[in-house]
Copies of this chain bind each other. A is one copy, B any other.
């Protein structure tokens, strides 16, 4: 039997720890954090969940690839934000899709989309289902909803070793496509935190942020061409290494979050596995000095693959630091050349700003600890929910000239909100990506939750955070996308004339407004 994903949280059903193990883990975490309860709750079992009757059913020829089972509808109800997990954990599924379709090729996708459009349904394109912004939630008034899960389109179709590019189907997950590329000695090296389950199509639709802390920060720059099915027909751009022929067609699909079409495949730039690497962890007395060093690094033209600054408290929480120092993780990698000259200069620059380092080539130590914590975090969140810990993040980007004031304003407001809403808790920060003109700060909140009130607690904190991010000049998201949850702030951020243009573009391709209604723009 194939492994099934949990219908409520992160990972597979068989990865859920036993109640005893969960309690032991919760005890350890509660001792570490100073809050949270070892009295863990259990998720509402699937069998106890009752969903409303589906409002439509597929024609007989599509029955084989469609399902309205409780499991499928629950699994496709939410993404994987903290609030999503809380709701699903408690057995609350407000907007389950009526039908979940699993096409395994483009012909099946066409048939499903045709049927759904003719049936007057809304259509939600679905990849890994790891959205943290309500991007795949069928929060649609009035219409029945067909969710199209494209994970059946999961193949690497072509590999061009001369151009270092591959044609990959949109439903391929991170491990799935890397496994297929590895047969050719190649790698995409796009590792978002959701890597294990998220898909290429989802990354493109949401402008996912990946492995590279500089230069190739979003999937955007790894995309050579895109193919998508819109309600008016196929959209496929010419495969080119670069072009200046008018507005970029790809850049209109990248970040379209499922409102223009269902992405089915893309040519993406791949590379040989980097045989030469160098990593280091540099300690700073305070986050501000670390930020100065990061600015110097980002403006140096050295282009480190990793350049992630973690504040002292977050470093302590994740085991990457002692709690007294901000930690800057620097990494260089290459398949071609010795990277030591680059690392030497990067450490010199860090030293200029007060950084101290003990080790080089530190893959098992601080750097490895940080990476492990990064990949473990989504699993840990299920435990947090069970033990009554509020755990969520928000992220943004801001230019350097405004960073200090921005960071101060955000921390002050959000810490106050956390205190008021939860009594205590922490707000920590790291830079996930960095540009010559500014960093992408990523804030993590850990706080005691009141069971049953988590959604309201987080909504209050999120509102304060988002208001402050927008007021202080940031973006409502650097790489988590807009979805439905970020709409109030996104609407204040994006140019009105651009929204007019995008709305018209959508109406031209999707006249009935069927595709992912509520995301990005209203009709």
Using a CB–CB cutoff of 8 Å, the interface residues on chain A facing chain B are 160, 162-165, 206-209, 215, 217-218, 224, 230, 232-249, 251-252, 254-257, 260-261, 269, 271, 295, 299-303, 334-338, 341, 345, 349, 397-401, 433, 435-440, 473-482, 486, 490, 493-498, 500-509, 520
Contact = CB atoms under 8 A, between A and B. Distances in A.
A475 B401 contact: no
A164 B337 contact: no
A477 B243 contact: yes
A483 to B, nearest CB: 10
- For the residues of A in contact with B, the DSSP-based class is loop
A496 B230 CA distance: 11
Contacts of A474: 240
B401 A235 contact: no
18 contacts: A163-B401, A235-B497, A242-B435, A242-B438, A244-B481, A245-B481, A245-B486, A246-B520, A248-B251, A248-B255, A252-B252, A300-B336, A336-B349, A497-B509, A500-B508, A501-B506, A504-B507, A505-B505
Given A244-B477, A245-B486, 11 more contacts: A164-B299, A207-B244, A235-B496, A239-B473, A241-B400, A241-B437, A246-B502, A248-B254, A249-B494, A249-B498, A504-B505
A256 B498 CA distance: 13
Contacts of A243: 397, 475, 477-478
A437 B217 contact: no
A269 B436 contact: yes
A171 to B, nearest CB: 21
Given A478-B244, A502-B247, A520-B246, A438 B401 contact: no
A185 to B, nearest CB: 13
A298 B436 CA distance: 22
A241 B435 contact: yes
Interface centre among A334, A337, A435 (most CB of B within 10 A): A337
A254 B249 CA distance: 12
Contacts of A507: 504
A208 B242 CA distance: 12
B336 A252 contact: no
Contacts of A163: 399-401, 436-438
A496 B162 contact: no
